[in-house]
Amino acid sequence: MNRLLQVRALGQQIWLDNLSRTLIRDGHLARSIREDGVAGVTTNPAIFHKAIADGRYYEEDLAALKARPLSAEARYEALVIPDVQAACDLLHATWQDSGGSMGYVSLEVSPALAHDRAGTVAAGLRLRAAVARDNLLIKVPATPVGLGAIEDLIAQGVSVNVTLMFSLAHVDAVARAYLRGLARLQAGGGDVRRVMSVASLFLSRVDTLIDKRLEELGEAARAYCGKTAVAMARLAYVRFRERFHGTDFAALRTAGARPQYMLWASTGTKNPAYSDLLYVEPLIGAETVNTLPDATLAALIDHGQVAATLECETAQAATCFEALGGLGIDLDAAGETLQAEGLRQFEDAFAKLLELTAN
C-alpha cells in the first residue's frame, strides 16, 4: 500500500505545505489527492511569494491587476484567492466524504494584524466570504492578541488554523481559546458541528534553537540534541488526549463539536545530520495532521517507515523535558523567542510578496 495511505489508515492526515497554480493546472495536486490521499493544503506568505515570483501562470493576471487602481494587498488577494478556491474544490470530495474532518485549505490573514484583535477578526471574516468555501481554514498566529481573535472567530463559526506555536504553553493557551470560542458559539445558538480547527506546532525550528544552546553547554547536554521537538509533540498529544477525550469536553463532543487536532508544522529537517523524516515517522497518530513540504512528502512516499508511533515513549519525552529544565533551558521562553522570530519572518515574506504586486 502507498505509504501515505498507510498513514491515513492510522488516523493521521497528510497535508501538502505548498500551493501554486502550477500544482493546480499541471494536475499535480489532483493526483496527490486522488492517488496518495493528501488530505489538505497549507499556505503562508513565503509559499505564495515563491508561487507568484516563479510561476508561469501569474504574469498575465498580475499585469492586468497592476493596470487597476488597487492596493498591493488587494492585488495579492485577487491572485491567490482563485488558487485557494481551486484547491478547496479539489479537496471538496475529501471534505464531504469525511464529514468535514478532512479536506481543508488554509489561507493566512496578514501578519501585520498579529497584534490587532479586531483587525484579525475582520480580515478572517472577509477572507472567508471572499473564498466562499466550507473547507477553508483561516490561519491566525497564536500571539497573545491572536488568541482573542481565534476565540472570536470560532465563536462566529469560522474554522481556524492556529499557526506559530512553539511550546506546550502555546498548546494550552490555544486549546483554551478554542474551547472558549466553542462555548460562545453554542451559547449563541450556533452549530458547533460546522467548526474545524487545527493547532499548528512548529518543530524543526525548536530543535534548531535548542540544539544550539545544548552545544554550548558541553558534551553531556549534547545527548539531547535533536530530541526536543519530538518530545514536545508527544507531550502535546498527551495533553490533547486528556483535554478532548476527557470529561471537560464531553458535553461539547455530544453536541457534535470536533477536537482541535494537533498539526505538526515546520517538518522539513533542517539539520542534515538528522533523518529527513525526523518529524514524521515518530509522530504518527490518530486525530493529528502532518503538513509536509514537497521534499519531505517525497521522502515519506519513497522510504518512510509507517507505524503508530506518537504514543510511544511518552515517559522518555517527559524525562527529556525535565532534563532540559535541569540544564537551565526554559522551553516556554524559547517558544516566545521563536514565535517572535517566526512572525518577523512572515512579515518579511509578506512585505516581499506585496513588492511583487505593487506598481
**Cell numbers representing residue 233 in the block:** 509533540
| Strand 104-108 relative to strand 261-265, pairing | unpaired
| Residue ranges of E strands in 38-147 | 40-41, 104-108, 136-141
Can you tell me which residue has the cell 493596470?
67
- Residue that is written with C-alpha cell 486525530 in the block: 287
How many other β-carbons are positioned within 10 Å of the β-carbon of residue 254? Answer: 8
Q: Can you tell me which residue has the cell 519530538?
A: 230
Q: How far apart are CA 171 and CA 177, in angstroms?
A: 10
Is the Cα dihedral 342, 348, 350, 353 positive or negative? negative
Residue type, 128: R
The residue annotated as part of the active site, out of 50, 66, 139, 227, is: 139
Q: Is 200 helix (H, G, I), strand (E, B) or coil?
A: strand
How many C-beta atoms surround the C-beta of residue 118 within 10 A?
12
Contacts of 112 (CB under 8 A, 6+ apart): 347, 350
The residue type of 281 is E
Which run of H or E residues covers position 164?
strand 160-165
139 is known as an active-site residue: yes
Catalytic amino acids? 139
